[in-house]
Amino acid sequence: MPYICGRQVLHDQLLLNPPGPEGSKGRWSQRCDVISLPFFYFYNSTDMKFFIDTGNLAQIREAHDLGILNGVTTNPSLMAKEGIKGEDAVMQHYLAICEVVDGDVSAEVLSTNMDEIIEEGKKLAAIHPNIVVKVPMIKDGVKAMKWFADNGIRTNCTLVFSAGQAILAAKAGASYVSPFIGRIDDSNWDGVQLIEQISHIYTIQGYETEILAASIRSPLHIVKCAEAGADVVTSPLESILGLLKHPLTDIGLAKFLDDAKKMRAELAGVK
């Protein structure tokens, strides 16, 4: 994943944090394992993770069967869409998801008060070691995320729409920050540009929080988020499968198969 950075930024960062296993630390070391001077191209050594954004077990299994799935995100609307009602049913459903996918599964709290967020988050985190507690970007959410970070519970800060919110999430020790790309685009701003901005800020500030691009609406969003420096992209199954598609692939394959069939027929005719 190439990065082009400002000369001064590169200079400062190299002084502070030279590349290589000995001198690297934090996010910078993840992002900067090859530097080819003088073009200042940075290679990101992390591989952008693919999460599926759904509560639907059949879709989760289908994405998992592709072999490229690294995790799952859910939210109360997605759970409601599956008709999962009541605390026990919700807990069981998260457990069922964790049994399909060996990766992080975001489970969102419904509380908005710090003490209640903490209580709810503790219950969610106890379901399975892969559960990441999803907390909204509100004042009590920030306080709760700090508490979770101090107590070894991983969090995903959700409903993020600005760089300022992303800075707060990182300062609070969130494991993931979820900028909502599609909803930003819907409001006539550029969602992918926000990913770029957060990626730049996190890199120069050395924040460890991973950027989880959410509210993905198309395969192109996934590609653009990869270019912009997202650590994770969470998408509906349709957008993931959309990455497969190209008309020239279909046309090319049809021709290859047709030519092979003719060749086989010719061979059969000769005998």
Question: What does the binding site for ligand E4P look like in residue numbers (CB under 6 A)?
Answer: 53, 73, 75, 158, 178, 180, 182-183, 214-215, 234
What radius of gyration, in Å, describes the C-alpha atoms of the chain? Answer: 22
Tell me the closest approach of the beta carbon of residue 236 to ligand E4P, in angstroms: 7
Q: How far is the CB of 156 from ligand E4P (least distance, A)?
A: 7
Please report how close the Cβ of residue 77 comes to ligand E4P at its closest, in angstroms.
6
Specify the 3-state DSSP secondary structure of 45.
coil
6, 3, 13, 2: which is closest to 204 by C-alpha? 13
DSSP collapsed to 3 states, 132-184: EEEEECCHHHHHHHHHHHHCCCCEEEEEECCHHHHHHHHHCCCCEEEEEHHHH
- Selecting among 49, 134, 139, 146, the annotated active-site residue is 134
**Is the C-alpha dihedral spanning 236, 238, 239, 241 positive or negative?**
positive
Name the minimum Å distance from CB 242 to ligand E4P: 15
CA 84 – CA 82 distance, rounded (Å): 6
Q: Does the annotation count 134 as an active-site position? A: yes
Q: Which is nearer to ligand E4P, 5 or 169 (CB)?
A: 169
Catalytic residues: 134
